[in-house]
C-alpha cells in the first residue's frame, strides 16, 4: 500500500522528513548528480523562481511515511509546458507499480496546468549511442514503459549531440502529448529546448550550443520516433482528472451528554447530526478518528485557574442541573467568592451559558478534535474540518460564554504556530472575541473577524473596527463589523478585504472559524446568505491554496445547516485543488 502526496514545502515535519528521504534516494540512485544540487532541492520548493520553473514534488509513501519513490515536475506557465526533471523509485525494490503511479500523477498535474506537452529526457536504447550493455537493458525497459503512454523521443534534431568531447549516452528529449496524438509544433519545441538548456542546464551548456540545438529543430511539426516496443493501437494516452486532496473530517463521539434542555438553547447535539447527514457521503471527506492531546495545549491559550475551575466545578454538578452565572465582578475583581457556583460569574461573560456536569469533558473532547484535525494538516494534508460542538470562539483567555467553553480554533492555531505563522479568519455571524482576546498582543497570529456590528449583535462589548491589536500585536487584529441586513454580495465585499489582509500577512496556515449562522433564517442572526453564497465563499478561501483547518463555530438553523456546510466545502475543495499557491510576478 502506498499513496501519492504532493510535498509543498520543507516547513512541516512530515514534509521535511519526506524530502530527506528523497535526497537519500537521489544520492543512491544518481551518483553523478553533484551533492550541492541535491542539497538545494528544498530551496526549489520554497523559491520557485530559482530556475524560473515552478517545482512540484510528488512522493509515493507507504503507511509508515517511508518514501518509496518520487517525481520532480517543473512547470513553465508562459511557454505552457511541463518538464519531468526526476522520477525514481527506491534502490533495490521492485517498482510494484510505484513508477507507473508517479508517472500517472505527473501527467494529471501537467494536464491540469493546461500544458501543451510533457517533456523529459530518457537515455538511448541503441548500442551505437550507448556502449554499456547493462545500461542498455534498463534504457530499453524505460522507453518501452513510456511508449505505452504514447510518449516517444523527438528525432531529427541535434538535442543528442554531445556538448563536451567524449560524452556518450546523451539522452533523448521525450514528448508526451498528454492524450493528444498530434505531433508538437516546431516553435513549441524550440522554446522548450531553449528554456531547458538555458535554465535547467545553466552553467553546463555553452551559449553557442544552445543556439545550435534550437536551430536544429527545423521540421514543423517536429518528428517523433516510430513505436518500437508497443503496438500503437495498444497505447493508452488518456489522462484522468487530477485527484483533489480529501478533507480530513474529525468529529467527537461523546458530545451528546452536553445537552441543555431549555427553551431557546439552540446549541444542541442535532447540529452536528444535521451537518454530518449532508456531508458524510461526500467524496470530498475522509473520516479521521480524534486522538487525545495533553492539557498543556489548552493552558497554552487559557489561564490555568480558569481551566481548573471548569474541570472541578463541572465534576460537582448533578446530572441535568444547570449552573447559570448570575453575579459578575464589576468591582473587587481580585476578591474571589468561595462558592463555586457564584464564582461562575467571575469566569463568564454572559448569563445564558450554563455549566453542566458534562460541559468540561465534552469541551475537552472538542479540543481533541480540533487538535487532531490540525495534526492532519501537519502531516501534510491540505484541508481538515473539525466538526465540533460546543463552539469555542467566544471563549477568551480566562472566560467562557456564548455557548463556548474552550476556544478550539485558538488552541489549534497555537499548536500550528510552532511550525509557522497562522491566520485565523472568523466567519461566524458573531464577533470572534475569544481569539481576539487571546492573540491581541501578538504579531505571529493574525485574527480577522467578519460579524454583525456589536451595536446590535452579541457579544456587544467587542468587535468594533478600531480594535486593531496592542503592543507587538498592533495591526494584527482586523474587525469587519457589518450592518443588520447583509446579503451574499455585501458579504463578499467584506470577505475580499479580509482575504487581502490574510494574503498580506503571508501565513503558513489558515484557520477558519466557520459559523453558519450568517445563513438566511438563522435564529441568532439577521443576514441572508444562501447555499450558493456559501459555495462562493468557500471557493474564495480555497483560491488562496493555503493549508486550511476549518473549525465549526455557530449555526443554529438545523434545517439548512447541512446544506450550507456542504456547499461551503464543495467550493473550498474544488478551488483548493486547482489553486496554485504561488503567485507569479506580473512581468
Ligand atoms: Zn455565532
Query: What is the reported pLDDT for 335?
Result: 82
Distance CA 75, CA 90 (A): 24
Query: What is the reported pLDDT for 313?
Result: 94
Q: What is the pTM of this model?
A: 0.81
Contacts of 223 by beta carbon, 8 Å cutoff, 6+ apart:
154, 155, 156, 183
Under DSSP, is residue 57 helix (H, G, I), strand (E, B) or coil?
A: strand
Torsion region of 247: left, alpha or beta (phi above 0 gives left; psi -120 to 50 gives alpha): beta
Query: What is the reported pLDDT for 255?
Result: 83
- Say yes or no to pLDDT of 360 above 50: yes
| pLDDT grade for 587, boundaries at 50, 70 and 90 | very low
CA of 494 to the centre of ligand 1 (A): 17
Distance CA 378, CA 382 (A): 9
Average pLDDT, the chain: 92
pLDDT tens for residues 330-351?
777 778 888 888 888 889 888 8
Distance CA 298, CA 295 (A): 5
CA of 395 to the centre of ligand 1 (A): 12
CA of 522 to the centre of ligand 1 (A): 10
CA angle 198, 201, 207 (to 5 degrees): 45
CA dihedral 11, 13, 15, 17 (to 10 degrees): 130
CA angle 516, 517, 521 (to 5 degrees): 115
- Say yes or no to pLDDT of 113 above 90: no
Q: Where are the alpha helices (DSSP H) in 317-399?
A: 340-343, 359-378
| Three cell numbers, residue 72 | 520532480
Count of beta carbons in the 10 Å neighbourhood of residue 123: 18
pLDDT tens for residues 230-276?
999 999 899 987 777 789 999 998 888 888 888 788 999 999 999 99
**Segment 107-117 mean pLDDT:** 90
CA of 429 to the centre of ligand 1 (A): 5
CA of 158 to the centre of ligand 1 (A): 67
- Number of alpha helices (DSSP H) and beta strands (DSSP E) in the chain: 17, 16
**Segment 403-418 mean pLDDT:** 96
- Say yes or no to pLDDT of 197 above 90: yes
CA of 81 to the centre of ligand 1 (A): 47
Residues of the chain with pLDDT > 70, as a percent, come to 97
Distance CA 506, CA 541 (A): 14
Query: What is the reported pLDDT for 93?
Result: 67
Distance CA 367, CA 357 (A): 17
CA of 563 to the centre of ligand 1 (A): 18
pLDDT tens for residues 123-154?
999 999 888 888 999 999 999 999 999 999 99
CA of 263 to the centre of ligand 1 (A): 18
Q: Which residue numbers are catalytic?
A: 394
Using only the alpha carbons of the chain, give its radius of gyration: 29
Query: What is the reported pLDDT for 513?
Result: 98
Distance CA 462, CA 437 (A): 10
Distance CA 21, CA 126 (A): 33
CA of 450 to the centre of ligand 1 (A): 11
Query: What is the reported pLDDT for 94?
Result: 63
Count of beta carbons in the 10 Å neighbourhood of residue 531: 16
pLDDT tens for residues 390-410?
999 999 999 999 999 999 999
Closest Cα to residue 122, out of 94, 149, 95?
Answer: 149
| pLDDT grade for 585, boundaries at 50, 70 and 90 | very low
CA of 198 to the centre of ligand 1 (A): 56
Count of beta carbons in the 10 Å neighbourhood of residue 559: 9
For residue 68, report the phi and psi dihedrals to the nearest 5 degrees: -100, -20
Report the DSSP pairing between strands 247-250 and 383-386. Answer: parallel
Query: Looking at the chain, how many residues does it have?
Result: 587
Distance CA 534, CA 358 (A): 33
**Segment 494-516 mean pLDDT:** 96
CA of 428 to the centre of ligand 1 (A): 5
CA of 457 to the centre of ligand 1 (A): 10
Distance CA 439, CA 435 (A): 6
pLDDT tens for residues 304-325?
999 999 999 999 999 888 998 8
CA of 501 to the centre of ligand 1 (A): 22
Query: What is the reported pLDDT for 584?
Result: 38
What kind and span of H or E run contains 172?
strand 172-176
- Say yes or no to pLDDT of 586 above 60: no
Least confident of 296-300, 340-344, 415-419, 488-492: 340-344
Count of beta carbons in the 10 Å neighbourhood of residue 104: 15
Cis-peptide, bond into residue 314, ω within 30° of zero: no
| pLDDT grade for 164, boundaries at 50, 70 and 90 | confident
CA of 89 to the centre of ligand 1 (A): 50
pLDDT tens for residues 56-96?
899 999 988 899 999 999 999 889 999 999 999 987 766 66
For residue 130, report the phi and psi dihedrals to the nearest 5 degrees: -140, 100
CA of 473 to the centre of ligand 1 (A): 25
- Say yes or no to pLDDT of 516 above 60: yes
pLDDT tens for residues 529-548?
999 999 999 999 999 989 99
Amino acid at each position: 500500500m502506498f499513496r501519492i502526496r504532493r510535498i509543498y514545502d520543507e516547513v512541516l515535519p512530515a514534509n521535511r522528513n519526506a524530502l530527506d528521504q528523497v535526497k537519500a534516494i537521489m544520492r543512491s540512485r544518481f551518483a553523478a548528480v553533484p551533492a550541492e544540487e541535491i542539497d538545494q532541492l528544498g530551496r526549489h520548493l520554497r523559491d520557485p523562481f530559482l530556475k524560473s520553473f515552478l517545482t512540484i514534488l510528488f512522493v509515493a509513501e507507504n503507511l509508515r511515511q517511508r518514501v518509496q519513490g518520487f517525481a520532480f515536475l517543473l512547470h513553465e506557465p508562459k511557454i505552457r509546458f511541463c518538464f519531468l526533471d526526476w522520477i525514481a523509485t527506491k534502490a533495490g525494490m521492485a517498482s510494484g507499480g510505484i513508477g507507473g503511479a508517479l508517472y500517472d500523477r505527473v501527467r494529471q498535474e501537467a494536464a491540469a496546468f493546461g500544458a501543451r506537452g510533457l517533456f523529459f529526457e530518457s537515455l538511448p536504447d541503441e548500442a551505437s549511442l550507448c556502449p554499456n550493455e547493462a545500461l542498455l537493458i534498463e534504457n530499453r525497459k524505460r522507453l518501452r514503459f513510456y511508449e505505452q503512454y504514447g510518449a516517444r523521443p523527438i528525432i531529427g534534431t541535434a538535442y543528442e549531440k554531445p556538448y563536451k568531447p567524449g560524452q556518450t549516452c546523451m539522452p533523448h528529449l521525450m514528448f508526451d502529448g498528454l492524450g493528444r496524438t498530434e505531433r508538437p509544433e516546431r516553435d513549441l519545441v524550440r522554446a522548450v529546448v531553449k528554456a531547458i538548456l538555458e535554465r535547467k542546464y545553466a552553467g553546463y551548456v555553452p551559449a553557442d550550443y544552445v543556439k545550435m540545438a534550437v536551430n536544429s529543430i527545423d521540421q514543423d511539426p517536429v518528428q517523433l520516433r516510430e513505436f518500437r516496443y508497443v503496438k500503437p493501437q495498444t497505447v493508452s494516452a488518456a489522462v484522468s482528472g487530477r485527484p483533489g486532496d480529501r478533507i480530513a473530517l474529525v468529529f467527537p463521539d461523546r458530545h451528546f451528554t452536553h445537552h441543555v434542555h431549555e427553551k431557546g438553547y439552540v446549541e444542541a447535539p442535532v447540529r452536528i447530526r444535521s451537518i454530518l447527514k449532508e456531508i458524510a457521503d461526500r467524496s470530498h471527506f475522509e473520516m479521521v478518528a480524534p486522538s487525545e492531546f495533553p492539557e498543556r495545549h489548552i493552558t497554552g491559550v487559557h489561564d490555568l485557574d480558569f481551566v481548573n475551575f471548569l474541570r472541578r466545578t463541572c465534576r460537582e454538578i448533578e446530572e441535568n442541573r444547570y449552573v447559570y452565572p448570575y453575579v459578575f465582578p464589576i468591582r473587587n475583581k481580585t476578591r474571589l467568592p468561595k462558592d463555586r457556583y457564584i464564582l461562575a460569574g467571575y469566569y463568564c461573560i454572559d448569563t445564558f451559558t450554563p455549566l453542566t456536569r458534562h460541559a468540561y469533558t465534552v469541551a475537552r473532547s472538542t479540543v481533541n478534535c480540533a487538535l487532531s484535525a490540525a495534526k492532519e494538516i501537519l502531516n501534510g494534508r491540505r484541508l481538515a474540518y473539525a466538526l465540533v460542538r460546543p463552539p469555542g470562539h467566544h471563549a477568551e483567555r480566562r472566560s467562557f460564554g456564548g455557548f463556548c467553553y474552550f476556544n478550539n480554533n485558538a488552541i489549534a492555531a497555537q499548536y500550528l504556530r510552532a511550525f509557522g505563522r497562522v491566520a485565523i479568519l472568523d466567519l461566524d455571524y458573531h464577533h470572534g472575541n475569544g481569539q481576539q482576546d487571546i492573540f491581541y498582543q501578538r504579531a505571529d497570529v493574525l485574527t480577522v473577524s467578519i460579524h454583525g456590528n456589536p451595536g446590535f449583535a452579541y457579544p456587544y462589548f467587542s468587535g468594533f473596527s478600531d480594535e486593531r491589536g496592542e503592543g507587538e500585536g498592533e495591526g494584527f487584529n482586523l474587525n469587519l463589523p457589518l450592518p443588520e441586513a447583509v446579503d451574499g454580495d455585501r458579504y463578499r465585499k467584506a470577505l475580499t478585504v479580509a482575504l487581502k489582509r490574510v494574503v498580506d500577512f503571508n501565513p503558513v496556515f489558515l484557520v477558519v472559524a466557520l459559523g453558519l449562522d450568517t445563513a438566511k433564517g438563522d435564529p441568532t442572526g439577521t443576514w441572508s446568505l444562501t447555499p450558493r453564497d456559501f459555495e462562493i465563499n468557500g471557493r474564495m478561501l480555497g483560491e488562496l491554496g493555503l493549508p486550511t483547518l476549518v473549525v465549526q463555530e455557530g449555526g443554529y438553523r438545523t434545517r439548512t445547516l447541512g446544506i450550507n456546510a456542504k456547499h461551503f466545502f464543495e467550493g473550498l475543495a474544488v478551488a483548493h485543488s486547482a489553486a496554485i499557491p504561488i503567485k507569479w510576478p506580473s512581468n
